Each structure stands twice: as C-alpha cells, then as structure tokens.
Amino acid sequence: MDLYKELLIDHWKNPRNFKRLKRATSRVKLVNPLCGDKMTLELKVENGEIADVGFSGTGCIISQAAGSLLTEEVRKLKKLDKICKIDEKEYFKILGTNVVPGRKKCALLAYQALKKALEGNGRQNT
Amino acid sequence: MQNLRKDFPILIKNSLVYLDSAATSLKPQQVIESVASYYSEIGATVHRGIYKSSVIATNLYENTRDQVAKFIGANSAREIIFVRNTTEAINLVAYTWGEKNTQEGDEIITTIMEHHSNFVPWQRLAERKKAKLKVVGLTEDGHLDMENFNRLLSKRVKLICVTGVSNVLGTINPITKITQAAKMVGAKVLVDGAQMAPHMKVDVENLGCDFFAFSGHKMLGPTGIGVLWAREELLNGMEPFLSGGGMINEVTVGDTTYADLPLKFEAGTPNIDGVIGLGAAIDYLNKIGMEKVRSYEEKLVEYGTGVIGEVRGVRVFGPEKTNLRGGVISFTVDKIHPHDLASILDEQNIAIRAGHHCCMPLHGKLGVTSTARASFYIYNTKTDVDRLVEGINKAKKILK
Ligand SMILES: Cc1ncc(COP(=O)(O)O)c(C=O)c1O
C-alpha cells in the first residue's frame, strides 16, 4: 500500500478543520471538473497571521485528505510569510505520499485553493 | 480463449489484469512483428516508387484495404479511407459532408450516450451552420429511448450520429432500426463503430448506415490508424478534407484535380506501418472468428455483471440483458470515489479506468461525475474478473 497510507486515510475519515468560517477574509472555491472534486478553502487573517482556517468539499480521498493535512499545516505555521513559502515539493511532503500523474490534479486541488486564497490577502505566490 | 494469452507479450511479462481494452487493446506478437518487419525488411513508402520495396509496401498497404473492406462487409475497397482514428474519421465527415450538406434550420441528431468524439464535432458543426443539435435520451435500463428518437425524426434531420456500442453502458444499439427510420426522412446515418468493430461481426450493408468509423488500436492494431467507411457516391460528392501530396490527380499553377477514391482523402505520406499492423490484427481476429469473439465476451460480461453486481454497495450501469451488451461494465462502489478505487486496484496490478470516459453528457444524465469501468477483450478470463472482485473487496476493507 503506497498511496493510501494510514495518515491519509485517517485525515479522510476524520478531516481536521472541516468547517465554514463566519468571518473569512478570503474564500476560494475550486472544482476539478474531470472527477468532480470540490474544495472550498477559507482563511481568516489578522495582522499577518492566520486566526482561523477551514475547508469543506466532496471528492476522492486524496483531494479531501489533502485539504485536512494542508489546513493543519497552515494552522501550525500561523505566520503568512511562512505559509507563502510552501511550494509543491513541500506540499507533497506534507501529504506524506507521492501520486501518479493521473492523480496529481486531485492532490493539488487544496494547494491551488490555498495559493489563490493567499493572493486574496495581497500576498505573492512563491 | 486461455491459449491465446501467450500471444500477448504484456500478459506474459506481468501478472497484470488488464481491464481497459475499451480505451485501447493490447497487441499480439503477430501485430508487433508485422510492424517491426515493415521497418526491418521493407522501409519504403507507398504509391510512388518504381523500385521493388515500394511495390511491396504498396501491395501490403492496398491488400489491407481489401481486407478491411471484407471485414466490415463493404462493397468496395474504394470506400475504405485510412485515417488516424475514430475521432479523425468523424471530423472528416463533419468538415466535408457536414459542411456541404447542412444549413441553417437543419437538424442533426445525436445521443446522450455518445463519446465526445461523436458529440463535439456535431455541436461545432451545428454552431457553424446555425443548425440544431437534437439529443436522444435514455430509458431507465440504459437503452436509447427509441420513442424519443422517433419523435425527433423529421424532414429537417440531415444526419443521425450514433454509437454502435456505448463505451460506458455497453449498450448495443439498434442500428438497423435507426437506419430504416432515417431512410424514411432522407437522413444519413453515421455509426461510431469504435466499440463495435473490435467486438462483433460488422456488415455495413446490413446495418444500412452511410458512414462507419473505427480505430485500429482498440482491435489489436497499432495506435494512429483508423478507418472511415462511407458509401462511394457520398465520398465522390464530398470535398477533400486535407489537401496536398498524394491526393491529387494533376496540379497546375491555376488549378488542381483530385485523385480518385480512396486516395482523394489520404493526403500526405500515410501511416504505412499502422495499416500493415491493422492488417495483421484483422488476420488475427479472423482466425478466431468474430462470432466467437462476441460469444466469448458475452459470456464473460454475463459472469462479470453477476459477480461484480453482487458485491455490496456496487451499482452496475447499463442494460441487464447481456445479449444487448458489449464487453464493458461501468459501476460505482458506495462511498468510494472511482479514482480511489482505481488507485487501490492499480496497487494490486489491476488496470481499470475511472472517470467520465469521455462521456460527460452521459454521466450528467446518470447523475454521477464519474464511474469505474472494467472492459474486456479476447485475452481476459474469468480469473481476471475474480481478481477484480477481490480487489474491490480489498478496497472496501482498506477504506472501511
Ligand atoms: C465509442 C467511442 N467512440 C470514439 C472513441 C474515440 O476513439 P479514438 O480515440 O481512437 O479516436 C472511443 C474511444 O476512445 C469510443 O469508445
């Protein structure tokens, strides 16, 4: 079992930060039309720091577990400038798994949502 | 057909359970060798050379055209046009016959179960011509809604585009009924034969259609070679699709006259090794016999729909009667996304397809964004089906 490591399955079954925020400062909704994965990612930023983060959506295990793992990391890092430094390589480290090219789109949905959400807070992508 | 598995190098090398033949089939050694020997022993182009190897290449190329004509029951090899694949064959018709014969207010009928290949070109033609695209719906059990079809038929309909066999539902469509009805209103019928020609005996004259398109790579042949069959009088009335070398009779500074059929539609140096490989594939299939191919697959699908359908939480799509069903089983498993299922099966060396299989309108109609699909061919066995069922159960356990 390579792809479906326990960590991933755990985050799929018990997603962390699976919620909608009341006063999000940015909100991004992305859809992967090929497989129907949906992801809404919300940030509440105060003074350059994450006050709250949440995601919601439906789709395959990879896309949804990724939402959970990434928002956990965002919460942990807290500072926006650190969060902005997450690149693709770092992202797959956070997921703890490598995906075949055919599943990359599923895996990247949360990452792309985060990047877009950060832009919404006037931050540059790395 | 256990004994023919030895002809497929990929099946010998791996313990692979290959269940994606509706996307593309595996190739037997005989086809691989025919392609290799063209390059190692002949090498020359067709229709040009005065020298021996070119004559041999031309003979092989043109003999395959005869073979294809016989394989699908065409009256003449002049009606066989070599193209890249089904998609190109359909586009050829859309951009030549379609361009010339549809006008504002005309109607084109297609169906909700079409592959994008037999849908998007007509959507675009309709848009260019301000014609209307009408879409035949489905019955509960995954057949074409023929009442709906009959209601849509009128003198305004110029062309009906329908698949012989659905690549998602497996439905075998009543083509002769459709062509008979089409004749009453003077409409032409294009049959997408991509899932039909590889799996059952085809006779275009019996089917009564006007255009028939299929791909070599889904029937043991190489990729990049496909066939358009059309009635000779239609082909004669059509403008060339691509122009340039090979399709001309005479070129002057002011004007060009075109070659006779079929070369009028084969501009440029063709896919010679693809054609030769397709010939070897047809030889291979003929040796088995298309009736036998069909009856073998029918039994396999009957077994497959049975045991897959019995797995708890599985929903199988498409007709229940296996005599109206090709070698395709699409299904979903409760609470498991098809992509996750396919990934977990892949880890057990089982190759299935997951997604919309290039049929987004159909999936919309079925109310799902994607399905898992197992599709069969002559080299698949009940053991493959059993391993798939085991694999599905394993996936359920992992994701419980
Ligand atoms: C029913 C049907 N039509 C058309 C196609 C397109 O075939 P190709 O990609 O070889 O052009 C396929 C397969 O992909 C198919 O299953």
Q: What percent of chain B has pLDDT over 70?
A: 100
Domain end point (choices B260, B286, B312): B286
Residues B130 and B91 in one domain: yes
User: Tens digit of pLDDT for each residue in B50-70?
Assistant: 899 999 999 999 999 999 999
Residues B294 and B282 in one domain: no
Separation of alpha carbons B20 and B353, rounded Å:
6
Confirm or reject: Cβ of B215 under 6 Å from ligand 1.
yes
Which residues from A are below 8 Å from B339, CB to CB?
A: 35, 60, 62, 103, 106
Domain end point (choices B262, B286, B310): B286
User: Tens digit of pLDDT for each residue in A26-55?
Assistant: 999 999 877 788 999 999 999 999 999 999
Looking at residue B341, which CATH number applies to its domain?
3.90.1150.10
Confirm or reject: Cβ of B195 under 6 Å from ligand 1.
yes
From the list A110, A78, A101, A80, the residue with the least C-alpha distance to A8 is A110
Residue B26 in any domain: the answer is: no
User: Tens digit of pLDDT for each residue in B13-24?
Assistant: 888 999 999 999
**Bridge partners for B226 per DSSP:** B83, B215
Domain end point (choices B256, B286, B316): B286
Separation of alpha carbons B5 and B90, rounded Å:
33
Residues B137 and B194 in one domain: yes
Per-residue pLDDT, B231? 98
Q: Which two tokens stand for residue B346?
A: 């892949």
Residues B347 and B308 in one domain: yes
Is the pLDDT at A101 greater than 50? The verdict is yes
What is the residue range of B256's domain? 31-286
B340/A60 Cβ within 8 A: yes
Residues B55 and B11 in one domain: no
Is the pLDDT at B173 greater than 60? The verdict is yes
Provide the pLDDT confidence category of residue B2 given band limits of 50, 70 and 90: low
Residues B165 and B296 in one domain: no
CB nearest to B339's CB, from A1, A2, A103: A103
- Reduced to 3 states (helix: H, G, I; strand: E, B; else coil), residue A124 is coil
> How many domains does the structure of chain B reveal?
2
Confirm or reject: Cβ of B322 under 6 Å from ligand 1.
no
Residues B295 and B352 in one domain: yes
Is the pLDDT at B317 greater than 80? The verdict is yes
From the list B339, B330, B389, B297, the residue with the least C-alpha distance to B167 is B330
Are β-strands B328-333 and B371-375 bridged in parallel, bridged antiparallel, or unpaired? antiparallel
Residues B158 and B248 in one domain: yes
Only one residue has tokens 């043991």, namely: B220
Only one residue has tokens 């992801």, namely: A39
Looking at residue B117, which CATH number applies to its domain?
3.40.640.10
Residues B115 and B142 in one domain: yes
User: Tens digit of pLDDT for each residue in B276-303?
Assistant: 999 999 999 999 999 999 999 999 999 9
Q: How much distance in Å is there from the Cα of A73 to the middle of ligand 1?
A: 43
Separation of alpha carbons B30 and B36, rounded Å:
10
Q: What percent of chain B has pLDDT over 90?
A: 94
**Inter-CA distances, B21 with B105, B236, B327, Å:** 40, 35, 9
State mean pLDDT over A88-111. Answer: 89
Is the pLDDT at B357 greater than 60? The verdict is yes
- Reduced to 3 states (helix: H, G, I; strand: E, B; else coil), residue B144 is strand
State mean pLDDT over A98-112. Answer: 88
Residues B94 and B120 in one domain: yes
CB nearest to B399's CB, from A9, A35, A106: A9
Q: Looking at the domain that runs over A3-120, which CATH code has it been given?
A: 3.90.1010.10
- Count Cβ atoms below 10 Å from residue B140 Cβ, excluding itself: 6
Confirm or reject: Cβ of B110 under 6 Å from ligand 1.
no
User: Tens digit of pLDDT for each residue in B246-272?
Assistant: 999 999 999 999 999 999 999 999 999
Residues B347 and B316 in one domain: yes
Burial class (CB in 10 A: 0-12, 13-18, 19+), B151: exposed
Per-residue pLDDT, B59? 96
Is the pLDDT at A122 greater than 80? The verdict is no
Query: In whole numbers, what is the pLDDT of chain A averaged over residues?
Result: 89
Is the pLDDT at A124 greater than 80? The verdict is no
Is the pLDDT at B154 greater than 60? The verdict is yes
From the list B310, B370, B363, B309, the residue with the least C-alpha distance to B343 is B370
The nearest alpha carbon in chain B to A31 belongs to: B369
Provide the pLDDT confidence category of residue A2 given band limits of 50, 70 and 90: low
Residue B70 in any domain: the answer is: yes
Residues B227 and B374 in one domain: no
pTM value?
0.93
CB nearest to B398's CB, from A4, A36, A103: A4
Q: How much distance in Å is there from the Cα of B171 to the middle of ligand 1?
A: 15
Separation of alpha carbons B170 and B168, rounded Å:
6
